Structure 1
């Protein structure tokens, strides 16, 4: 997953530096926990796991880091500016710690493993560093810090999925929730650090996923998003005990169906798909179930086959276009979003033009776009020279952003005059006189409040007009 930059669409992944709400606990120790999350949806999902583990150990949570006993930043290491933002935030925590010497400050997640020495030893900004597979060890690590030691656990696991932990839903609207279905990544995209920071791919027990979806539905949630670095490669086989009959392997299409069958009133989304792995079986499953949202995030990164090979994306331009054609054929109403990188190593002007032509071919509903930023430790950093001048990267990015704005407006204009089924999420950010929610294609819809309608209900909205990012309409019977 890519950290969001220059988005043309407000999206769940764009939440940056979000802190958690106060939550009650059973056996309280009186100690307070503050977590701030950056980056992709997986990081926010992981923060919910961390909160669950520590609440079970007597912590309470707070939205004010100045009153916390333990402060964590759950980090993203995709782009350099994310690391700088986190470092600046840690310095703010350092000031708070000077007034509260007992405060413990820690870094969690993807950035933890790569920068553990800098944070702990060189800059002395943190007391504890914990990688994404070591969250169960947090109570023990906090005890070590209480005893006067620094604490580190960044060991990666081939088994850990946290399947038995019920996440605490942070900042929840009580309507939409994430469900992590797998961890790690086996794809070695040359620009990406995720395989090194999150480890090898492993899939979670499908029965625990369905159970979590059932529990969420019974608790009043009406939408779940299945999360993985590459959901299409999900594959679960139950370990076989002595004398047991082997169960068939469950793939992602089958898992989608299992979750969709929890209830027709439970919307199902997923992220992220990889073009090399998304199958027609997944597409036909989406088409078969009305409550599986007709929206796919399908990162292209580049429209040129040579650049895609340098990126080690394992597909070419023609393969990607074939997958788009399959989506349009099997699910004609499907929304498609993407990720685009401009100025990757040795990208020529002609190759950049092929990215623009790919955008013209697909006409994405929205996109996450940024200029290439070399990350230490990646294959690209080791193998290729970052030789495209910054001003060229930025100019190409501007061209990509401008084109996407045209396509986003084009897609939204096609909704005008049509009725859309919308799950009401709550009040609009701009006015408590309007509700907002998303349609099947993940587009935000804004419409006047109706006293007969409450958040969590489905409504039909006649789309009367649009902006470049939002549909605007009114509820119809």
Structure 2
């Protein structure tokens, strides 16, 4: 399956626009979710004001940062291997400083400074504004750590730099944290409680992107459907809000509609959704506006109600299926993708078959599928024995991937002979003579370059497909083209 996350893939090192007066070099790598990549843009912005320009050559860096992921053990092991590689560079450049950022930093805290002798600095996801002070601590020869979680920090006042940007697509974070205590997940412990960003600051950031020529924005959050702004405060405290705050509150459906109407020549996507919080109003906004992409990432994790309960997911199999029905009823041409975990503690063969049958019912276009990886500190690690043998986990994962490949091919075939709107993002990996972009349904489309350019909205007639890619020929510009 081409769209399955490859955890062996090296993290992306990022570049930004250089400031001429800056004299120090920053090398930064990001691993994991889109939020981590977005956070790296915030970090680079903060450090650019501290005299750092980024470099893609680690050997010339004065400061090396790795933005980490804790969602699976394999992701953490990848980061540890990178730290070993940093150590070899430090041997040749003793003044080089190394810092660990993000979820892994939050989870392991002091352990990094105690065990990983090459690490000078440990910074949690809510502490990036403290980087200038932490760097002073490091420069004075002291270990530096700040992993304090915040109830207010959204970085809404930081103008992110666009790292390794194609000038066409960008991420905009609209909220941080998560209140859903899924038993397998470390995110509530590494990123804290949900808090939403002022909608006006979001619109302002998108306006800046639009004026710079960007054509598509993905609104980011651990759970975007929980977005709720009412003048400050955590979502869980909304019941304590004043009547004025409640009357002027903005939820996710309203925010998405504001974006769509304010910038009709930009496309909008969002990630990630939680089934229990996906409201019908959001579906109607997607259906109503051409520039809101017809695609929803809707993680389910398992097709078994019993396992969903063990995971503390706040929905059943039947409720999820009802939501799928509603999506296709309101947005008939919608694409849906999934997250799936195989081999969760106590999972039986019947539970596994329930997952496969749910996949057939939902007709996912693609998915992100993994074998269960016990994460220290989670409720599952504390309360449930990891009792599914590794070979069974892998066999079930293989069957889930095989099912997704089969369904994915059937889903892409629905575009054969049809014309789709594509935003050109880059040159295709398979040929220098072809462009690659995505249609509204988030399917990659490849076609001959002709006289088009990156950033153009074009209509492409689909002539062939694989389980994850459409191929065709451009027939002209679309109505979205300015």
- The TM-score with structure 1 as length reference comes to 0.95
Q: Distance in 2 between matches of 1:34 and 1:171?
A: 13
Please give the per-residue CA displacement for 1:329-363, whole angstroms capped at 9, x wherever unaligned.
00000000000100100000001000000001011
Matched-pair contact (CA < 8 Å) for 1:412–1:470:
yes
Query: What does residue 454 of structure 2 align with?
Result: 455
**What runs of 5+ residues in structure 1 fail to find an aligned partner?**
1-6
Note if 1:54 corresponds to 2:47.
Answer: yes
Of residues 16, 20, 25 in structure 1, which corresponds to 2:14?
A: 20
Q: 1:236: which partner in 2?
A: 229
The CA deviation at 1:125 is: 2.9
2:3 — aligned with what?
Answer: 9
> What corresponds to 1:305 in structure 2?
305
Deviations 1:252-283 (A, max 9, x none): 00000111122221000000000000011000
1:118 is displaced (CA, Å) by 2.7
The Cα shift of 1:27 comes to 4.1
Q: Tell me: CA distance 1:152–1:89, structure 2 relative to 1, closer, same or farther (3 Å).
A: same
Match in the other structure for 2:443? 443
Task: Kindly provide the CA deviation profile for residues 40-83 of structure 1, in whole angstroms up to 9, marking residues without a partner as x.
Answer: 00000000000000001121110011110000000000111111
1:101 aligned to 2:80?
no
- State how 1:33-182 maps to structure 2 within 5 Å: 33-182=26-175
Q: Name the CA shift for 1:84/1:10 in 2 (closer, same or farther; >3 Å).
A: closer
Q: Is the 8 A contact 2:7 2:74 kept in 1?
A: no
Count of residues in Structure 1 that have an aligned counterpart in Structure 2: 468
Deviation at 1:247, TM superposition (A): 5.6
Partner of 1:4: none
Deviation string, structure 1 residues 398-426 (Cα, Å, up to 9, x no partner): 10000000011000111110000000112
1:154-233 correspondence to structure 2 within 5 Å: 154-233=147-226
Q: Distance in 1 between matches of 2:72 and 2:232?
A: 38
Equivalent residue, structure 1, for 2:418? 418
Partner of 1:3: none
Kept in 2, the 8 Å contact 1:237–1:249? The answer is: yes
Cα distance in 1 between the residues matched to 2:398 and 2:232: 50
Q: Distance in 1 between matches of 2:35 and 2:7?
A: 9
Cα 1:207/1:25, change in 2 over 3 Å: same
Distance 2:223 2:362 in 1: 21
Aligned partner of 2:252 in structure 1 is 252
Secondary structure of 2:269's match? strand
Say which SS state the counterpart of residue 276 (structure 1) adopts.
helix
Q: Could you tell which deviates more after superposition, 13-22 or 189-198?
A: 13-22
Query: Residues 423-466 of structure 1, C-alpha deviation per residue, up to 9 Å, x if partnerless?
Result: 01121112210001000000000000111x11111000000001
| Contact 1:16–1:39 (CA under 8 A) maintained in structure 2 | no
1:299 is paired with a residue whose SS is coil
Name stretches of at least 5 consecutive residues in structure 2 with no aligned partner. 234-240, 477-482
Alpha-carbon distance in 2 for matches of 1:49, 1:12: 25
| Partner Cα separation in structure 2 for residue 292 and residue 155 of structure 1 | 36
* 8 Å CA contact retained: 1:10, 1:469: no
Equivalent in the alignment of 2:475: 476
| 8 Å contact kept, 2:21–2:51 | yes
What SS does structure 2 have at the residue aligned with 1:216? helix
User: How far 1:214 sits from its partner (Å)?
Assistant: 1.0
Matched position secondary structure for 1:336: strand
Quote the offset at 1:23 in angstroms. 2.6
Q: Secondary structure at the match of 1:189?
A: coil
Q: What CA distance in whole angstroms lies between the structure 2 residues aligned with 1:223 and 1:350?
A: 42
Query: TM-score of the superposition, structure 2-length normalised?
Result: 0.94
Task: Please tell me the root mean square deviation across aligned C-alpha atoms, in Å.
Answer: 1.8
After superposition, what is the alpha-carbon deviation per residue over 1:70-117, rounded to whole angstroms, capped at 9, x for unaligned? 000000001111111100100110110111111000100000022233
Moved over 6 A (4+): 10-15
Q: CA–CA distance in 1 between the matches of 2:347 and 2:469?
A: 34
1:225/1:383 CA distance change after superposition, 3 Å: same
Q: Tell whether the 8 Å contact from 2:336 to 2:364 is kept in structure 1 after alignment.
A: yes
Shift in Å, 1:16 = 4.5
